[in-house]
Homo-oligomer: A and B are copies of this chain.
Amino acid sequence: MNQMALVGRLVKEVELKEIGEGKIVTNNTLAVKRRYKNEQGQQTDFIPVVAWGPVAKLLHTYCEKGHLVGLSGRMQSRSYVNKEEETVFLVEMVIDELHFLQGRKIQDPSLLEVEV
C-alpha cells in the first residue's frame, strides 16, 4: 500500500519533456505548508512531484507557477547517474490525480477580447 494526498503550490512553471519512446513527463515541486508553526514561524515542505502522459498534459494546460492544487498519488524512489557521474537517489510523488483549487490558467487570451 502506498498512498498520498497533498495540497500545495507549484513552485515553477510546468514544462513538458518528451522522452525516448514518445512518453511525456513533467517534473515540479509542491510547496506544502506544515500544519503547525514553530518558533521559526510557518514551515513549508518542498516535495518533488512527477506526472506522466495525460496527467502531465492537464497540469501543463491548466496550471502555472504558484497555483494551488490538490494531488493524489504514491511515493516512489529511483536513482540516476548525474553529469558528474554520481549516482543520485531520489524520492518523489507520482501524481495519479490532479485537483484544481483555484482559477485555471487562461489558454487563449484572445477568447477574452471583446470586439467593439
Contact = CB atoms under 8 A, between A and B. Distances in A.
Interface of A: 1-8, 32, 34-35, 45-48, 68, 70, 72, 74-77, 91-93, 97, 99, 101
Nearest to A101: B101
Contacts of A68: 101
Given A46-B77, A48-B91, A77-B47, A99 B7 contact: yes
10 contacts: A1-B72, A2-B34, A3-B4, A4-B4, A7-B99, A46-B77, A47-B77, A47-B91, A48-B91, A68-B101
Contact of A6 (B6, B8, B75, B93): B75
* Number of this chain's copies in the complex: 4
B45 A77 contact: yes
B7 A75 contact: no
4 nearest A-B pairs in the assembled complex, by CB-CB distance = A4-B4, A5-B5, A1-B7, A91-B91
A3 B93 contact: no
Nearest to A94: B45
A70 B75 CA distance: 15
Contacts of A6: 1-3, 75
